[in-house]
Copies of this chain bind each other. A is one copy, B any other.
Amino acid sequence: MRELTGRQREILEYIISCVRGEERFPSYREIGRRFRLSSSATVSQHLEALVRKGFLEKAGRRLMLSADLRPARGVPVVGRVAAGTPITAIENREGYVDVASLFGDDADYFAVCVEGDSMADAGILEGDYVIVRRQDDVASGDTVVAYVGDEMEATVKVFRRRGKTIELEPRNDAYRPMRFGPGSGRVRIAGKVVGLVRKMR
C-alpha cells in the first residue's frame, strides 16, 4: 500500500467522516463541492488514485472503503509510529476497536458491571464491564459469570470442576474459593467471560 498525497489524504478523510456520520458514500459532486472542485473529473481522478493505492474498493460502479478502514464504528487502532508522521494518520491504522465487531451484537452476548476486587490479579477490576457469552457448559479454567446463593447474585470467578463438586475460584489471595457440592443447586452459570471494557477518568 503506497503513500498518500496531501490532497488524497484530505479527500479520504472526508469520505471516512461521511461514511461514519451519514452511513453512506458521498457522491463525486458532493466531494467536489466540499473541496471547491468544479469538475467531477478531478474527483474521479483522486478516487481512482485511492483505489489504486488500496484505500478504496470498487464494486461495480460503486465505491466502498477498504475493509480495514470500514468503520466498525469505534476507535481506530494505531500501530507503530514512523518518526515525524502524526500518530493518528490513516497510514498507521490497523483497524478499529469496537465491542460490537470484537464480540458480536447478537443476543448471545451481554455485559455485567463488576463489583468487588476478587479478580484483581486477573486484571478484572471493580467497575469494569465484563463481556459474557451465554453458555451453560464451560470448561474448567474458564473465567465465568455465575449467579450464586439464594439472591442469585452475579459473580465473576474462574470455574473449576473437581470430581462431582464445582469450585468458583477468585484471583485474589484475600479471597477463598466457593465450593458447590452435587445437587446443592445454589449456582447457575450465566456464561463465559470473553472480554472486558473499562472506562477510566
Using CB atoms and an 8 Å cutoff, list the residues of chain A in contact with chain B: 19-20, 23-25, 62, 64, 70-81, 83, 87-88, 96-100, 102-103, 105, 107, 109-113, 120, 123-125, 128-129, 131, 134, 143, 147, 152, 154, 190, 193-201
Identical copies of this chain, number: 2
Complex CA gap A30/B190 in Å reads 34
Instruction: Please give, as numbers and ranges, the residues of chain B lying within 8 Å of A103 by CB-CB distance.
Output: 75, 199
Q: How far, in Å, is A135 (CB) from chain B's closest CB?
A: 12
When chains A and B are docked, how far (Å) is the Cα of A19 from the Cα of B102?
A: 19
Which partner residue on chain B sits nearest A83 by CB separation?
B152
Given contacts A77-B110, A78-B110, A88-B107, contact A23 B23 (CB under 8 A): yes
On whether the beta carbons of B190 and A200 are closer than 8 Å, the reply is: no
Query: Can you offer 20 A-B residue contacts whose CB atoms are under 8 A?
Result: A24-B25, A24-B62, A73-B98, A74-B100, A76-B111, A77-B129, A78-B110, A78-B111, A97-B111, A97-B129, A103-B199, A120-B123, A123-B124, A194-B199, A194-B200, A194-B201, A195-B198, A196-B196, A196-B197, A196-B200
